[in-house]
Amino acid sequence: MTIGGKEFERAGHTYIMGILNVTPDSFSDGGKYTTLDKALRHAEQMIAEGADIIDVGGESTRPGHTLISDEEEKERVLPVIEAVKKRFDVPVSVDTYKSGVAEEAVKAGADLINDIWGLKYDKKLAEVIAGAKVPCCLMHNRQTADYKHFMTDCLNDLKESLAIAKTAGIGEHQIILDPGVGFGKTYEHNLIVMKHLDAFRELGYPVLLGTSRKSMIGLTLDLPAGQRVEGTLVTTVMGVMAGMSFVRVHDVEANRRAIQMAEAILKVREESIWDTLG
């Protein structure tokens, strides 16, 4: 698929989406990059470390986060999107579920809309994406972690998002799915998602995995957000093995190295099978 004029293979390699939160209250890095200069320096660092996409977010989506207005969100993300696109040759996504923010972000240069509500929060967002002809990432989410058959319900929820996208005229080649680790799920649910990532790939679309520094890792290892790199790397390697097309991460260099190592092993394993068979 094409994102921001760059080609991304739908399978066979895991790309890195680097997180650029221009928020005062994100769970891991809130307040670090709230000025334009700091945001640009961090974007430059992530690109140098191997980020393939920069994901700009202006509203924290952590549990218990404070909702902000469209205007406040625009004030945070639009200058950053414009500046990153002007200074760097890299695709930029905007992490928003609001049609008004998404529309202005695309005008500012955003190449992808990353929606944590899978087109179900703002009914106009699907039309904005279709009209702008930009790719989108549709994440699984629920208001409460109330399921009858967890994995089946998750997949059916994503199928509903896909139906909304199709009705709006969003092309199949424009869609990425996200299983939504940490959203509308219990700790156990999140572990189940990690164990069955292949089920999300079976829906037939590229899949993005977003686990970086999340509570699933913190609860497992009993560590604060700033000490969850190793746990994140484990989930990234599992994502590579399950065929995830993208990982969304804070620590770009460490995750790039983990991906590179995992992919090298997987490639050799395939070659060894053929060698054995003669």
Sign of the dihedral defined by the CA atoms of residues 184, 25, 106, 6, in that order:
negative
Which amino acids are annotated catalytic? 214, 248
Give how far the C-alpha of residue 47 lies from the chain's centroid of Cα atoms, to the nearest Å: 16
Q: Write the CB contacts of 127 (distance below 8 Å, at least 6 apart in sequence).
A: 99, 168
DSSP assignment of 84-111 equals: HHHH--S-EEEE---HHHHHHHHHHT--
Alpha-carbon distance 162 to 123, whole Å?
Answer: 13
CA distances from 275 to 62, 93, 144, 212, 234 (A): 48, 42, 50, 37, 29
Alpha-carbon distance 259 to 13, whole Å?
Answer: 9
The answer to whether the beta carbons of residues 265 and 64 sit under 8 Å apart is no
CA distances from 256 to 16, 242, 263 (A): 7, 16, 10
DSSP assignment of 110-129 equals: --EEEETTTT-S-TTHHHHH
